[in-house]
């Protein structure tokens, strides 16, 4: 089987990830963190804090206690946005956003918050030149997707960060697609908050993710509350990170796996993973761009050759004469190739490229893919194009 749906989730994980989850249960040493002083409770706490430290290292933040774990990026965004934003605020976001950002923002918009969108250009790149014109007196934050899960187009975060600093607004980043494959320095890029998911390019188990704050002076309100293991007689949740966003028992077994995934990424280095993915993407794109029956969206060979750092390992396309669903089905049935078809949880990108009805077929690569595998995809697409 050829697996090219890594933007949905990475299927092939480093073996030590599964081993870590297995041992976290099998060794009978992981209790409930912060819920006791016996060895299993302390070992669980140690596990959580070790993983937190490694997330801090990945995103280059000083204070690991400003990181809360959630079950994925979607939960992270719901918590963060609903905790931070008020009906009197305005925010700027982009047409490249995933529904995990859009839907919480639409909910807040219903309550009165103002929402403005940066448009996309013909390549699906966010029109950062519109930032100035969208600024309002009450603009509180820019919420921006680092890497589109549809086109792979990326944002120059440093540029947006400098703009946010100048205008004293917050920069909140969706790093679901970029964490682990693109270097992110939250301090240097002036990122105030970031949400990530563990099961994509960090190679962790599903059910892991989190919120990373760069400082402690955000004015946050409680969204979810419950058991916290401390301040048990207070009616409210403790107001300090990380517990503030962590009511209930954490997925410690999953976090053991995430730690192993983070170790793998650190051993390989984000930079070398990025370089390998750029080579794979360029190889694929060079071949598919030369097939006249294939239309590629928001991914231009010349742009990638010139500025590979502007693009992730994601290529979405359609083939003349095929619906995206039928193409993905035949790729799987006849060629054993796994890709995603249809709409990709980013409705405004599909509106932009006029693929609302047809959808797109998305190929997304991981560092476990090889040139040989990509060749199989190219051959399958070329064969199907010739059948037309």
Ligand X SMILES: Cc1ncc(COP(=O)(O)O)c(C=O)c1O
Q: Which is nearer to ligand X, 17 or 380 (CB)?
A: 17
Q: Which is nearer to ligand X, 177 or 367 (CB)?
A: 177
- Distance in Å, CB of 200 to ligand X, minimum: 7
Q: Which is nearer to ligand X, 98 or 140 (CB)?
A: 98
DSSP result, 152-217? -BB--HHHHHHHHHHHT-EEEEE-TTTTTTS---TTTTT-SEEEEESSSTT---TT-EEEEES-S-
Q: In the chain, what is the straight-line distance between the N-terminal and C-terminal CA atoms, in Å? A: 25
- Distance in Å, CB of 312 to ligand X, minimum: 10
Closest CA relative to residue 291, chosen from 322, 251, 314, 333:
322
Token pair recorded at residue 112? 């009165």
- Distance in Å, CB of 177 to ligand X, minimum: 5
- Distance in Å, CB of 126 to ligand X, minimum: 13
Q: Which is nearer to ligand X, 34 or 313 (CB)?
A: 313
Residues 6+ apart with CB under 8 A from 31: 38, 39, 40, 41, 42, 43, 44
- Distance in Å, CB of 271 to ligand X, minimum: 21
Q: Under the rule (CB under 6 A), what is the footprint of ligand X?
A: 7, 72-74, 98, 100, 145, 149, 174, 176-177, 197, 209
Q: Which is nearer to ligand X, 52 or 98 (CB)?
A: 98
Distance CA 289, CA 267 (A): 34
Pairing of strands 209-213, 67-70: antiparallel
- Residue 70, helix vs strand vs coil: strand
Residues 6+ apart with CB under 8 A from 327: 318, 319, 341, 361, 384
Q: Which is nearer to ligand X, 47 or 177 (CB)?
A: 177
Q: Read off φ and ψ for residue 225, nearest 5 degrees.
A: -135, 165
- Distance in Å, CB of 152 to ligand X, minimum: 11
């Amino acid at each position: 089987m050829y697996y090219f749906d890594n933007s949905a989730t990475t299927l092939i994980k480093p073996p030590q990830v599964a081993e870590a989850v297995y041992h976290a249960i099998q060794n009978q040493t992981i209790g409930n963190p912060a819920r006791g002083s016996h060895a299993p409770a302390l070992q669980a706490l140690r596990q959580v804090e070790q993983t937190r430290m490694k997330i801090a290292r990945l995103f280059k933040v000083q204070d690991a206690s400003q990181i809360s774990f959630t079950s994925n990026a979607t939960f992270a965004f719901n918590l963060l946005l609903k905790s931070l934003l008020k009906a009197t605020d305005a925010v700027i976001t982009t047409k490249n956003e995933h529904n995990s950002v859009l839907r919480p923002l639409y909910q807040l918009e219903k309550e009165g918050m103002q929402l403005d969108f940066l448009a996309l250009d013909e390549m699906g790149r966010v029109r950062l030149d519109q930032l100035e014109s969208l600024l309002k007196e009450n603009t509180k934050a820019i919420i921006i997707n680092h890497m589109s899960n549809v086109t792979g187009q990326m944002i120059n975060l440093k540029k947006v960060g400098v703009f946010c600093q100048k205008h004293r607004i917050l920069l909140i980043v969706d790093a679901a697609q970029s964490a682990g494959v693109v270097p992110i320095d939250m301090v240097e890029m002036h990122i105030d908050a970031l949400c990530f998911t563990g099961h994509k390019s960090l190679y962790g188990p599903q059910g892991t993710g989190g919120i990373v704050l760069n400082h402690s002076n955000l004015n946050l309100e409680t969204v979810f509350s419950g058991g916290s293991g401390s301040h048990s007689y207070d009616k409210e949740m403790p107001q300090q990170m990380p517990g503030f966003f962590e009511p209930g028992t954490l997925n410690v077994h999953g976090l053991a796996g995430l730690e192993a995934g983070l170790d793998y990424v650190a051993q390989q280095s984000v930079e070398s993973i990025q370089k390998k993915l750029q080579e794979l993407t360029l190889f694929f794109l060079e071949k598919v761009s030369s097939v006249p029956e294939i239309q590629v969206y928001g991914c231009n060979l010349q742009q990638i050759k010139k500025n590979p750092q502007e693009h992730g390992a994601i290529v979405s396309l359609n083939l003349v004469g095929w619906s995206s669903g039928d193409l993905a089905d035949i790729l799987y049935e006849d060629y054993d190739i796994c890709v995603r078809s249809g709409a990709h949880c980013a409705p405004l990108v599909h509106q932009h490229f006029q693929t609302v009805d047809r959808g797109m077929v998305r190929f997304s690569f991981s560092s476990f893919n090889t040139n040989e595998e990509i060749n199989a995809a190219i051959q399958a697409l070329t064969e199907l194009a010739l059948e037309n």
